[in-house]
Amino acid sequence: MSGDDKVVVLGSGGHARAVAEAATSSGFAVEEFLGLDHNDNTFMALLQRISLLDLSSTSLALGVGTNHVRARLHQRVITTFPHAVFPPIIHHTAWVSTDGAIDDGAILLAFASVGPGAHARVGSLLNTGASLDHDSTVGDYGSLGPGARTGGDVSIGSRTMVGMQAGILHGRTVGDDSVIGAHSAVVHDIPSLCVAYGTPCRVIRKRNQDEDYY
Protein backbone atom coordinates (compact mmCIF):
# COMPACT_ATOMS: atom_id res chain seq x y z
CA MET A 1 0.00 0.00 0.00
CA SER A 2 1.33 3.43 -0.90
CA GLY A 3 0.46 6.77 0.66
CA ASP A 4 -1.07 7.74 -2.69
CA ASP A 5 -4.02 5.36 -2.20
CA LYS A 6 -6.89 7.69 -1.35
CA VAL A 7 -10.01 6.68 0.51
CA VAL A 8 -13.19 8.48 1.54
CA VAL A 9 -14.98 7.15 4.62
CA LEU A 10 -18.76 6.87 4.42
CA GLY A 11 -19.93 7.89 7.88
CA SER A 12 -18.79 10.53 10.36
CA GLY A 13 -19.31 9.11 13.86
CA GLY A 14 -16.98 7.35 16.27
CA HIS A 15 -16.93 4.13 14.26
CA ALA A 16 -16.06 6.07 11.10
CA ARG A 17 -13.09 7.59 12.91
CA ALA A 18 -11.94 4.11 13.95
CA VAL A 19 -12.18 2.95 10.34
CA ALA A 20 -10.23 6.02 9.21
CA GLU A 21 -7.51 5.28 11.77
CA ALA A 22 -7.26 1.70 10.53
CA ALA A 23 -7.07 2.92 6.94
CA THR A 24 -4.34 5.43 7.75
CA SER A 25 -2.37 2.83 9.69
CA SER A 26 -2.36 0.53 6.68
CA GLY A 27 -1.19 3.16 4.21
CA PHE A 28 -4.30 4.85 2.86
CA ALA A 29 -4.61 8.63 2.69
CA VAL A 30 -8.02 9.47 4.17
CA GLU A 31 -9.44 12.33 2.12
CA GLU A 32 -12.66 13.10 4.00
CA PHE A 33 -15.71 11.78 5.84
CA LEU A 34 -19.12 11.80 4.19
CA GLY A 35 -21.76 11.79 6.90
CA LEU A 36 -25.16 10.14 6.62
CA ASP A 37 -28.54 11.72 7.17
CA HIS A 38 -30.16 8.96 9.22
CA ASN A 39 -33.61 10.28 8.31
CA ASP A 40 -32.87 9.68 4.62
CA ASN A 41 -33.47 5.99 4.01
CA THR A 42 -32.63 6.40 0.32
CA PHE A 43 -29.16 7.92 0.99
CA MET A 44 -29.86 10.45 -1.77
CA ALA A 45 -27.82 13.28 -0.24
CA LEU A 46 -24.84 11.00 0.28
CA LEU A 47 -25.08 9.59 -3.23
CA GLN A 48 -25.04 13.13 -4.59
CA ARG A 49 -21.80 13.84 -2.71
CA ILE A 50 -20.26 10.58 -3.93
CA SER A 51 -21.10 11.57 -7.51
CA LEU A 52 -18.70 14.50 -7.13
CA LEU A 53 -15.75 12.22 -6.31
CA ASP A 54 -13.27 10.86 -8.83
CA LEU A 55 -13.98 7.19 -8.19
CA SER A 56 -11.28 6.16 -10.64
CA SER A 57 -8.64 7.32 -8.17
CA THR A 58 -10.47 7.29 -4.82
CA SER A 59 -11.74 4.24 -2.93
CA LEU A 60 -14.57 4.16 -0.41
CA ALA A 61 -14.70 2.68 3.09
CA LEU A 62 -17.75 1.67 5.11
CA GLY A 63 -17.69 3.71 8.31
CA VAL A 64 -21.14 2.68 9.54
CA GLY A 65 -21.31 0.40 12.58
CA THR A 66 -24.94 -0.78 12.43
CA ASN A 67 -25.00 -3.88 10.27
CA HIS A 68 -28.29 -3.53 8.41
CA VAL A 69 -27.57 0.14 7.64
CA ARG A 70 -24.08 -0.72 6.41
CA ALA A 71 -25.58 -3.39 4.16
CA ARG A 72 -28.19 -1.07 2.65
CA LEU A 73 -25.66 1.69 2.15
CA HIS A 74 -23.08 -0.50 0.43
CA GLN A 75 -25.65 -2.11 -1.84
CA ARG A 76 -27.11 1.25 -2.80
CA VAL A 77 -23.69 2.73 -3.58
CA ILE A 78 -22.48 -0.16 -5.73
CA THR A 79 -25.80 -0.25 -7.59
CA THR A 80 -25.57 3.47 -8.33
CA PHE A 81 -21.81 3.49 -8.97
CA PRO A 82 -20.82 0.02 -10.24
CA HIS A 83 -17.18 1.08 -10.62
CA ALA A 84 -16.87 2.15 -6.97
CA VAL A 85 -14.14 0.27 -5.10
CA PHE A 86 -14.44 -0.76 -1.43
CA PRO A 87 -11.08 -2.32 -0.52
CA PRO A 88 -10.72 -4.28 2.70
CA ILE A 89 -9.46 -2.00 5.48
CA ILE A 90 -7.09 -3.89 7.77
CA HIS A 91 -5.38 -2.15 10.69
CA HIS A 92 -1.64 -2.74 10.65
CA THR A 93 -1.83 -4.52 14.03
CA ALA A 94 -4.51 -6.97 12.83
CA TRP A 95 -3.42 -10.50 11.92
CA VAL A 96 -4.74 -12.42 8.92
CA SER A 97 -3.61 -15.96 8.19
CA THR A 98 -2.10 -16.53 4.77
CA ASP A 99 -4.96 -19.01 4.37
CA GLY A 100 -7.64 -16.55 5.52
CA ALA A 101 -9.92 -14.56 3.21
CA ILE A 102 -11.06 -10.95 3.51
CA ASP A 103 -13.70 -9.73 1.05
CA ASP A 104 -14.34 -6.25 -0.34
CA GLY A 105 -15.58 -3.69 2.15
CA ALA A 106 -14.60 -5.74 5.20
CA ILE A 107 -13.05 -3.87 8.13
CA LEU A 108 -10.52 -5.27 10.64
CA LEU A 109 -9.76 -2.88 13.47
CA ALA A 110 -6.72 -2.95 15.76
CA PHE A 111 -5.56 -6.38 17.01
CA ALA A 112 -8.37 -8.28 15.25
CA SER A 113 -7.43 -11.70 13.87
CA VAL A 114 -8.61 -14.05 11.13
CA GLY A 115 -7.36 -17.62 11.38
CA PRO A 116 -6.46 -20.25 8.79
CA GLY A 117 -9.35 -21.03 6.48
CA ALA A 118 -11.50 -18.31 8.08
CA HIS A 119 -13.48 -15.88 5.93
CA ALA A 120 -14.65 -12.32 6.62
CA ARG A 121 -17.23 -11.76 3.92
CA VAL A 122 -18.35 -8.60 2.10
CA GLY A 123 -18.79 -5.58 4.34
CA SER A 124 -18.19 -7.53 7.54
CA LEU A 125 -16.59 -5.99 10.60
CA LEU A 126 -14.15 -7.31 13.19
CA ASN A 127 -13.89 -4.75 15.94
CA THR A 128 -10.88 -4.11 18.19
CA GLY A 129 -9.40 -7.36 19.48
CA ALA A 130 -12.05 -9.59 17.87
CA SER A 131 -11.00 -13.06 16.71
CA LEU A 132 -12.44 -15.26 13.96
CA ASP A 133 -10.81 -18.65 14.48
CA HIS A 134 -9.86 -21.28 11.93
CA ASP A 135 -12.38 -22.30 9.25
CA SER A 136 -15.01 -19.91 10.61
CA THR A 137 -17.08 -17.43 8.61
CA VAL A 138 -18.71 -14.13 9.42
CA GLY A 139 -21.35 -13.47 6.77
CA ASP A 140 -21.94 -10.40 4.61
CA TYR A 141 -22.16 -7.29 6.82
CA GLY A 142 -21.97 -9.36 10.00
CA SER A 143 -19.87 -8.13 12.91
CA LEU A 144 -17.86 -9.20 15.91
CA GLY A 145 -17.82 -6.61 18.68
CA PRO A 146 -14.68 -5.58 20.59
CA GLY A 147 -13.05 -8.63 22.11
CA ALA A 148 -15.62 -11.09 20.72
CA ARG A 149 -14.14 -14.49 19.85
CA THR A 150 -15.12 -17.66 18.07
CA GLY A 151 -13.85 -21.20 18.17
CA GLY A 152 -13.10 -22.99 14.92
CA ASP A 153 -15.70 -24.00 12.32
CA VAL A 154 -18.17 -21.34 13.47
CA SER A 155 -20.71 -19.82 11.06
CA ILE A 156 -22.08 -16.34 11.75
CA GLY A 157 -24.91 -15.23 9.47
CA SER A 158 -25.32 -12.15 7.33
CA ARG A 159 -25.90 -8.89 9.24
CA THR A 160 -25.67 -10.68 12.59
CA MET A 161 -24.02 -8.75 15.43
CA VAL A 162 -21.99 -10.58 18.08
CA GLY A 163 -21.62 -8.27 21.09
CA MET A 164 -18.41 -7.29 22.79
CA GLN A 165 -16.54 -9.98 24.72
CA ALA A 166 -19.04 -12.65 23.61
CA GLY A 167 -17.70 -16.11 22.79
CA ILE A 168 -18.97 -18.78 20.38
CA LEU A 169 -17.91 -22.38 20.92
CA HIS A 170 -16.36 -24.53 18.21
CA GLY A 171 -18.71 -25.67 15.45
CA ARG A 172 -21.71 -23.55 16.41
CA THR A 173 -23.92 -21.61 13.98
CA VAL A 174 -25.64 -18.27 14.45
CA GLY A 175 -28.25 -17.43 11.80
CA ASP A 176 -28.83 -14.25 9.81
CA ASP A 177 -29.93 -10.93 11.33
CA SER A 178 -29.53 -11.97 14.94
CA VAL A 179 -27.97 -10.17 17.90
CA ILE A 180 -25.79 -11.90 20.49
CA GLY A 181 -25.53 -9.89 23.70
CA ALA A 182 -22.26 -8.76 25.24
CA HIS A 183 -20.34 -11.29 27.38
CA SER A 184 -22.60 -14.14 26.23
CA ALA A 185 -21.35 -17.71 25.77
CA VAL A 186 -22.89 -19.37 22.72
CA VAL A 187 -22.89 -23.09 23.44
CA HIS A 188 -25.82 -24.06 21.18
CA ASP A 189 -26.81 -22.98 17.66
CA ILE A 190 -28.80 -19.72 17.55
CA PRO A 191 -31.45 -19.21 14.82
CA SER A 192 -31.97 -16.23 12.53
CA LEU A 193 -33.86 -13.06 13.45
CA CYS A 194 -33.58 -13.19 17.21
CA VAL A 195 -31.98 -11.53 20.20
CA ALA A 196 -30.05 -13.95 22.41
CA TYR A 197 -27.83 -13.46 25.43
CA GLY A 198 -26.60 -14.99 28.65
CA THR A 199 -24.32 -17.80 29.79
CA PRO A 200 -25.30 -20.11 28.29
CA CYS A 201 -26.73 -17.92 25.51
CA ARG A 202 -30.49 -18.31 25.05
CA VAL A 203 -33.00 -16.81 22.64
CA ILE A 204 -34.86 -14.02 24.40
CA ARG A 205 -37.11 -12.74 21.63
CA LYS A 206 -37.54 -12.38 17.90
CA ARG A 207 -36.37 -9.25 16.07
CA ASN A 208 -36.82 -7.52 12.73
CA GLN A 209 -33.95 -7.32 10.24
CA ASP A 210 -33.86 -3.50 10.37
CA GLU A 211 -34.20 -3.18 14.15
CA ASP A 212 -31.42 -1.21 15.80
CA TYR A 213 -29.54 -2.89 18.61
CA TYR A 214 -27.82 0.02 20.34
- pLDDT reading at 150 higher than 60: yes
Contact 193, 177 (CB under 8 A): yes
Angle CA 74–157–163, to nearest 5: 90
**pLDDT higher than 50, residue 3:** no
pLDDT tens per residue, range 81-111: 999 999 999 999 999 999 999 999 999 999 9
**Per-residue pLDDT, 119:** 98
187 shares a domain with 125:
yes
Do residues 192 and 121 both lie within one domain?
yes
Q: What is the pLDDT of residues 120-141, one digit of tens each?
A: 999 999 999 999 999 999 999 9
Residues 74 and 125 in one domain: no
Per residue in 41-84, pLDDT (tens digit) is 889 999 999 999 999 999 999 999 999 999 999 999 999 999 99
Contact 137, 151 (CB under 8 A): no
Q: Are 144 and 128 in contact (CB under 8 A)?
A: no
Residue 157's CATH number: 2.160.10.10
Give me the mean pLDDT over the 33-48 stretch.
Answer: 90
Q: Are the C-beta atoms of 77 and 62 separated by less than 8 Å?
A: no
Is the N-terminal amide bond of 116 cis, ω within 30° of 0? no
Mean pLDDT of the chain: 96
For the cut 70, the answer to whether the pLDDT of residue 179 exceeds it is: yes
Verify that 128 and 191 share a domain, yes or no: yes
- Counting residues of the chain whose pLDDT is more than 90, the rounded percentage is 93
Number of domains in the chain: 2
Q: 132 lies in a domain? A: yes
The confidence score (pLDDT) of residue 2 equals: 45
Q: Residue 51: which CATH number?
A: 3.40.50.20
Length of the chain, in residues: 214
Closest CA to 185 of 197, 177, 173: 197
Cα separation, 154 vs 137, in Å, equals: 6
Q: Which domain holds residue 55?
A: 6-80
* Residue 185 confidence (pLDDT): 98
Average pLDDT (27-31) is: 97
Do 202 and 96 share a structural domain? yes
The last residue of a domain, from among 48, 80, 112: 80
Q: Tell me, yes or no, whether 129 and 197 share the same domain.
A: yes
104 and 162 within one domain:
yes
Same domain, 108 and 167: yes
> Are 72 and 98 found together in one domain?
no
Q: Domain check: are 124 and 185 in the same one?
A: yes
Residue 152 sits in the same domain as residue 64: no
Whether residue 187 is found in the same domain as residue 120: yes
For the purposes of burial, counting CB atoms within 10 Å of the CB of 112, is it exposed (0-12), middle (13-18) or buried (19 or more)? buried
